Structure 1
Amino acid sequence: MSAYRRFRDRLRIGPVQVATYYDARGRDMHTAACTAPGCGFSADYTSRAAAELAARTHRCKA
């Protein structure tokens, strides 16, 4: 069963989207996910700055 996440405060940096959500324990979490076809990059972070840094430095291999 997949987790239901309601994303808020979304930002797009190139092909990468950064968003904030609450995890299962009610903590603020931040994610960065690449939307380019065939890339598959996504990662969760505890700080917004880390997620935005990952989005700015991400380079697609696809």
Structure 2
Amino acid sequence: MPARDFFHSVMRIGPVQIGTHRDRHGRTKYAAVCSRDNCGWSADYSTQSAAQLAARTHRCRITD
């Protein structure tokens, strides 16, 4: 039975949430996820600082 893979939100930078999860090999990964409707952007990083940089530089294509 595979391990449970839960996303744990760590912080929010603008519309982007940064959280941790475990990959299929059991390693902790950091994910940056845009929470705006219809954006769909997300990416996994091995360090929290890389995820924070991605969150600060993300430019959402969705206009209000």
Q: TM-score, normalised by structure 1?
A: 0.85
What is the letter of the counterpart of residue 44 of structure 2? Answer: D
- The alpha-carbon distance between structure 1 residues 28 and 40, as it changes in their structure 2 partners (threshold 3 A), is same
How far apart are residue 15 of structure 1 and its match? Answer: 0.3
Gaps of 5+ in 2: none
Structure number with bigger Rg? 2
How far apart are residue 8 of structure 1 and its match? Answer: 2.6
Two-structure CA RMSD over aligned residues (Å): 1.3
Gaps of 5+ in 1: none
Cα separation, 1, equivalents of 2:23 and 2:16: 20
* Aligned counterpart, 2:45: 45
Q: TM-score, normalised by structure 2?
A: 0.83
Percent identity reads: 49
How far apart are residue 39 of structure 1 and its match? Answer: 0.9
CA contact 2:31–2:45 (8 Å) conserved in 1? yes
What is the letter of the counterpart of residue 10 of structure 1? Answer: V
What is the aligned residue count? 59
Cα separation, 2, equivalents of 1:35 and 1:47: 20
